Amino acid sequence: MRMRRVAGIALSVVALIGAAAMPANAATMSAETRGGDGCFAYSYEPGWATTTVYYHNRCDHKEIIYLHWFLTNDQITVDAGAKGHKERAQKIMDIWDEGPGN
């Protein structure tokens, strides 16, 4: 009986330590990045398996946003005032306004 009680207390202590450490690890892994370049405002938060970039064209004309991923690139023409997003199973390396769209 005494052995069960000691084992139960030990498990509770381990669970509490694990729970206390979890928020610090979760906060480190989920750091949202916000920025802007030219006409675009953007944000992204690297996920466990994918990263989604959210963007907003703040200008009154079409613009091209350039997304430089770890293994590939995207050039997306975005209408004036429009918002959008792009998701890939890669790390985003850089984002910039490529200039006026067609």
- Is the per-residue pLDDT at 84 higher than 90? yes
Q: Are 32 and 43 in contact (CB under 8 A)?
A: yes
Could you give the CA distance from residue 77 to residue 82 in angstroms, rounded to a whole number?
10
Q: Read out DSSP for 48-75?
A: SS-EEEEEEE-SSS-EEEEEEESS-EEE
**46: number of CA atoms within 13 Å, CB side?**
12
Longest dimension (CA), the chain: 78
pLDDT digits (tens, 9 = 90+) for 34-70: 999 999 999 999 988 999 999 999 999 999 999 999 9
Domain residue extents for the chain: 1-30, 31-102
pLDDT digits (tens, 9 = 90+) for 88-100: 999 999 999 999 9
- 53 CB-contact burial (10 Å; exposed 0-12 / middle 13-18 / buried 19+): buried
pTM here is 0.69
Q: Residues 6 or more apart from 63 whose CB is under 8 A from it? A: 38, 39, 40, 57, 77, 78, 80, 97, 98, 99, 100, 101
- Is the per-residue pLDDT at 24 higher than 50? no
Specify whether domain 31-102 bears CATH 2.60.40.1920. Answer: yes
Q: Which carries the bigger pLDDT value, residue 88 or residue 26?
A: 88
- Is the per-residue pLDDT at 102 higher than 60? yes
